[in-house]
């Protein structure tokens, strides 16, 4: 199977991994969530070679994660790459990945954490069951196939 075929599979993990299971995509999304708009913002935010960055940004536009457009209100100038609703919806996945990285990748202290502004607390993003609110762990779930 080729990697591009993942996006055709009838599987949410295959389809999402065809987009975010690609080198440099998470650092690019990190830049976007931290406010990057222009190509040079992304370049500074990631340190990726410009030709690779060009390719990845185009892929994220093609997949509907970013939109390439003039700045709001502008009629000319450099186009920006802004997150779409689909892209912003990756934010919880990003937080869950950040939490895992803070806990499991040998960082002496978490270099970045997240404040939840409505409650004001330093938060530990947690993946829970929508129905009972308890954290979800592998041994306590069962896949249900066929929707």
CB burial of residue 53 (10 Å; 0-12, 13-18, 19+): buried
Give 6 or 67: the residue with its C-beta nearer to a copy of itself: 6
Measured from the CB atom, is 73 or 139 closer to a copy of itself?
Answer: 139
Minimum distance of a copy of itself from residue 75's CB (angstroms): 27
Sequence-distant (6+) residues with CB within 8 A of 21 are: 6
Q: Specify the residue, 76 or 115, whose C-beta has the smaller distance to a copy of itself.
A: 115
- Closest approach of Cβ 57 to a copy of itself, in Å? 15
Element (H, E) at 18: helix 12-20
Least Cβ distance, residue 115 to a copy of itself (angstroms): 5
CA-CA distance, 54 to 114, in Å (whole number)? 29
């Amino acid at each position: 199977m080729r990697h591009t075929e993942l996006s055709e599979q009838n599987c949410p993990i295959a389809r999402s991994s065809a987009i975010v299971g690609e080198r440099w995509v998470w650092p690019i999304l990190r830049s976007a969530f931290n406010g990057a708009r222009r190509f040079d913002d992304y370049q500074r935010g990631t340190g990726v070679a410009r030709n690779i960055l060009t390719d990845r940004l185009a892929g994220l536009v093609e997949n509907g994660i970013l939109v390439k457009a003039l700045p709001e209100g502008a009629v000319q100038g450099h186009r920006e790459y802004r997150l779409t609703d689909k892209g912003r919806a990756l934010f919880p996945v990003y937080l869950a990945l950040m939490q895992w990285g803070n806990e499991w990748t040998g960082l002496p202290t978490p270099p970045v954490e997240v404040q939840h502004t409505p409650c004001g607390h330093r938060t530990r993003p947690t993946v829970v069951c929508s129905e009972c609110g308890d954290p979800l762990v592998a041994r306590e779930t069962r896949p249900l196939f066929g929707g």
